[in-house]
Amino acid sequence: MSDLDIIMQHWNAFEIRKYLGTPLPMSKNAEREWLESATKHSPWKDGKIVLAIEDKKTGEFLGTISLFDISPQMRRAEFGIAIHQPSNHNKGYGTDATGVTLWIGFHVLGLNSIYLYALDRNKRAIRAYEKAGFKHVGVFRNAIYVEGQFQGLVAMDILSEEFAEQFPPGTLTGGP
Ligand SMILES: CC(C)(COP(=O)(O)OP(=O)(O)OC[C@H]1O[C@@H](n2cnc3c(N)ncnc32)[C@H](O)[C@@H]1OP(=O)(O)O)[C@@H](O)C(=O)NCCC(=O)NCCS
């Protein structure tokens, strides 16, 4: 909850929200309520886990990362991430945090498949996901209306066995 003010500052900017499929800003009340519930989510009971991304050295709050729609039956979950402040983009935080979350998903939660959707014009996100090991599945054409036009939605996924080729059980991921 101590991150609420900094979340409101950057999270509501259209520069970030235009990539999320939820372009309208959130009120502070709604964000407080979401944060309150996000800190209590259980992957099995609620089907989601939301974590803060921090700079390990300074403790600066950078954004949030999550696995949601976790299906214990299919051992599958959707992935989402946002580094909030544009000046923190392109510094490797997204790729690093994605790798750590995949590690949690596969080596702690025992998932078999993790998937995501990204706007096809969000080249930075797609590149970060490729670096973390996600593969392209396909594109839903004209699926999202934002910035006055329909845009394609890229689907990507990674399987447990593919992640294990890079990070077998017993190894760790995550930058210094
Ligand atoms: C998407 C996001 C999580 C990526 O995290 P990040 O820390 O900025 O990304 P990284 O620095 O780890 O990697 C970015 C990569 O994309 C590349 N890149 C940046 N802009 C690019 C562009 N326009 N075209 C192609 N590649 C691009 C970078 O060069 C880098 O690749 P490299 O290491 O091979 O040079 C982050 O930028 C973000 O949260 N953006 C706003 C919200 C958002 O888009 N969320 C995802 C919704 S699906």
What are the boundaries of each domain within the chain? 4-166
The finding on whether 79 has its CB within 6 A of some atom of ligand 1 is: no
> How far apart, in whole angstroms, are the C-alpha atoms of residue 38 and residue 36?
6
Q: Is the CB of residue 53 less than 8 Å from the CB of residue 65?
A: yes
Q: Which residue has the tokens 């596969």?
A: 106
Structure tokens at 17: 């929200």
Which residue from 94, 91, 100, 76 is spatially nearest to 155, judged by alpha carbons? 76
The finding on whether 92 has its CB within 6 A of some atom of ligand 1 is: yes
**Residuewise pLDDT in 10s, the chain (176 residues):** 999 999 998 988 999 999 988 889 999 999 999 999 999 999 999 999 999 999 999 999 999 999 999 999 999 999 999 999 999 999 999 999 999 999 999 999 999 999 999 999 999 999 999 999 999 999 999 999 999 999 999 999 999 999 999 999 999 998 77
Q: What is the CA(73)–ligand 1 centre distance, in A?
A: 32
> How far apart, in whole angstroms, are the C-alpha atoms of residue 50 and residue 54?
13
Structure tokens at 1: 């909850």
Query: Would the pTM count as exceeding 0.75?
Result: yes
CATH topology (fold) of 4-166: Aminopeptidase (3.40.630)
Supply the residue whose CA is at minimum distance from atom 25 of ligand 1.
123
